[in-house]
Chains A and B, each alone.
Chain A
Amino acid sequence: MSRCQYKIENKGEVCELILAGVIDDSFPTANIHLPADKPIEINLNEIKIINSLGIREWIKFVNSVQSKNVSIVCCPKIFIDQVNMVQGFIPAEFKIKSFYVPYFNEDDDLEKSVLYVEGQDYGEGFLNVKSTINHDTGVVLDIDVMEQKYFKFLKV
């Protein structure tokens, strides 16, 4: 049984693929049938882990997607780390429409992830990085990534 759950939903013109759990060697590439003639949106909000065998399976999967209009939304940090580290992790024509940026306060051990959205926080030639944010408790959290490394995939 796959450790990655998936759901395919039609949102008007767009076909949404929602993935959750762990991307590993049990990734159900063969079971996921996506239309070739519709825009595809892949939602990764609930992806928890991508292991080393999952990296290979994911690359096989994205290369099997036939639609020419594919966007990925709600990418967790663990996904962005792979995008930055593994060349070809997503095909060049795929668009990352939103991704999470972690914030942390070491003294209070508080954390929060903020969703950066294309067109709002980044886009063609711009990236607005918030170096700090407020936690719900009022504590100030600092950005918890090495910016040059983490935002490398945006090529801005």
Chain B
Amino acid sequence: MNSDCKKNLDERKQIIENKIINSPLKNQIVYDPLSLFQKEILCADQLSPIECLDVILSKKTQHCIQNSLESLESKCDFLNKIYVNKFDFFSPHFEVIQGNSCILDFNDISSRDDLINKALSQLGLNADSQKLSSICQTLEELVMNAQVDAKKLSKKVVLDHSKLILNVSSQLIAISIIDFYGTLDCYKLLKHIQAALTLGFDKAMSKNSIGAGLGSAIVYEHCDSLIMGVIPNEITRVTVILPLAVSEKKKQYIQKSIHIISGTEKG
């Protein structure tokens, strides 16, 4: 494990304590997956991608954070912000990471090629770069999901345009998609990913017409953090934080984090 990512228990506790003084997060963070209850936040270390999923699914919890290329400090800042008002997350102007940003509207007939090229070029990124292939693939999956799957799963006619939001810092890019269907079932999506990672991509491939079941697994494979928010039948926001201009060897040390932000009162 890369020492840049790995944090022992004392280090993690120190970071958290520095960040949550006077925060509503106080007393909600636990460090041991075994003592985790539904409403609590797990601050873990050295959980594999599949273990991170398992924790969220088995405990039906909403946040599992680990220090990674996106630092634990940054993850605490994010949690502090959404604990003040979780509905802020659904604003296109909510920035998960600080840096340059762009917001583009699209609908179900927008050209994905044009949209992706335009978004990347607005941030000075070259879509033809080999280093951006995983970012382009993630963009493709997320936009396609909003254009095809969200619409198919919804009974309502949505006139508002979906939004693609990119935030870029020196080593990270946050890709967010907002759609106004509100059809995402976060735990179901995580189960799809779990199936792909445990059974293999070929066996997890759905034969039905709504998605191949692989898209979410591809996105998870590339990401550092996966953040999903939904207000049922109103709005969905999915944000994925990925490494940018980082060598593949360094990417191996990513420790994944997952957040689920439910817009329902009970959530």
- With CB as the reference atom, state the residue of chain A lying closest to B246: A106
Known: A56-B205, A85-B201. A51 touches B248 (CB 8 A): no
Chain B residues within an 8 Å CB radius of A109 = 245
Known: A22-B140, A78-B137. A52 touches B247 (CB 8 A): no
Per-position 1/0 for B111-141, Cβ under 8 A of A: 0110000000000000011110100110011
- Check A52–B202 contact: CB distance below 8 A: no
Per-position 1/0 for B196-213, Cβ under 8 A of A: 000011100100000111
- Check B133–A87 contact: CB distance below 8 A: no
Task: Give Cα distance in the complex from A6 to B245, angstroms.
Answer: 31
Residue B190 at the A interface, CB < 8 A? Answer: no
Interface segment among A10-18, A36-44, A115-123, A142-150: the answer is A142-150
- Check B133–A77 contact: CB distance below 8 A: yes
- Check B129–A52 contact: CB distance below 8 A: no
Chain A residues within an 8 Å CB radius of B144 = 24, 51-53
Q: Whole-angstrom distance from the CB of A83 to the nearest CB of chain B?
A: 11
- Check A106–B250 contact: CB distance below 8 A: yes
Per-position 1/0 for A94-132, Cβ under 8 A of B: 000000001010100101010000000000000000000
Residue A49 at the B interface, CB < 8 A? Answer: yes
- Check A104–B247 contact: CB distance below 8 A: yes
- Check B136–A146 contact: CB distance below 8 A: no
- Check B136–A49 contact: CB distance below 8 A: yes
Residue B249 at the A interface, CB < 8 A? Answer: yes
- Check A77–B247 contact: CB distance below 8 A: no
Task: Give Cα distance in the complex from A24 to B211, angstroms.
Answer: 11
Chain A residues within an 8 Å CB radius of B129 = 111
Known: A56-B212, A106-B245, A106-B247. A51 touches B133 (CB 8 A): no
Chain A residues within an 8 Å CB radius of B229 = none
Known: A3-B113, A111-B130, A145-B248. A53 touches B211 (CB 8 A): yes
Question: Given A78, A88, A106, which contacts B133 in the complex, CB threshold below 8 Å?
Answer: A78
For window 162-214 of B, CB contacts with A under 8 Å fall at 200-202, 205, 211-214
Residue A32 at the B interface, CB < 8 A? Answer: no
- Check B202–A87 contact: CB distance below 8 A: yes
Chain A residues within an 8 Å CB radius of B248 = 102, 104, 144-146
- With CB as the reference atom, state the residue of chain A lying closest to B137: A49
Question: Given B128, B200, B215, B246, which contacts A51 in the complex, CB threshold below 8 Å?
Answer: B215
Task: Give Cα distance in the complex from A56 to B208, angstroms.
Answer: 11
Can you report 24 residue pairs joining A to B where beta carbons are below 8 Å apart? A22-B112, A22-B140, A24-B144, A48-B133, A49-B136, A49-B137, A51-B140, A51-B141, A52-B215, A52-B218, A53-B211, A53-B215, A55-B205, A56-B212, A76-B133, A77-B130, A86-B201, A104-B131, A104-B247, A106-B246, A106-B247, A109-B245, A113-B130, A144-B248
Which chain A residues have a beta carbon within 8 Å of chain B's beta carbons? 3, 22, 24, 48-53, 55-56, 76-78, 85-89, 102, 104, 106, 109, 111, 113, 142, 144-146
Q: Which 3 A-B pairs have the closest CB atoms?
A: A52-B215, A52-B214, A52-B212
